[in-house]
Amino acid sequence: MADMALWSLWWVWLAAALVLAILEVLAPGFIFLGFAIGAAVVGLLLLTPIAPGLPALLAIFAILSLIAWGVLRKLFSRADSAARTFNHDIND
């Protein structure tokens, strides 16, 4: 275990996913959630017997994060791409 690099440990990727998910709660807008999903999938991938190197892990993380961001944007964006406006006050 001592010869394993930090980036090759599954729990490091899952911890990064948790931190990114918490950041998404603090700064909503689906900015960090795609990265959190990518990190979580890479962490789950490292639980399998497959052991890719750092460049492959970073490429997988980047591709999965981009796909997750695109899916989230497609699911939660408005069709007319206009800003959301509110015509009432919460105190009314």
Taking only the tens place, the pLDDT of each residue in 2-43 is 456 887 889 999 999 999 999 999 987 778 999 999 999 999
Res 75 pLDDT > 90: no
Res 60 pLDDT > 90: yes
User: Which of helix, strand or coil describes residue 79?
Assistant: coil
Upper half-sphere CA count for residue 88 (Cβ side, 13 Å): 3
Mean pLDDT of the chain: 85
Res 87 pLDDT > 60: yes
Q: Which residue has the higher pLDDT, 6 or 82?
A: 6
CB-based contacts of 34: which residues, under 8 Å, 6+ apart? 65, 66, 68, 69, 70, 72
Hey, what amino acid is at 11? Answer: W
Model pLDDT, residue 84:
62
Res 83 pLDDT > 80: no
- Cα 82-84-89 angle, rounded to 5 deg: 155
Rounded Cα distance between 26 and 20, Å, is 10
Mean pLDDT within 83-89? 68
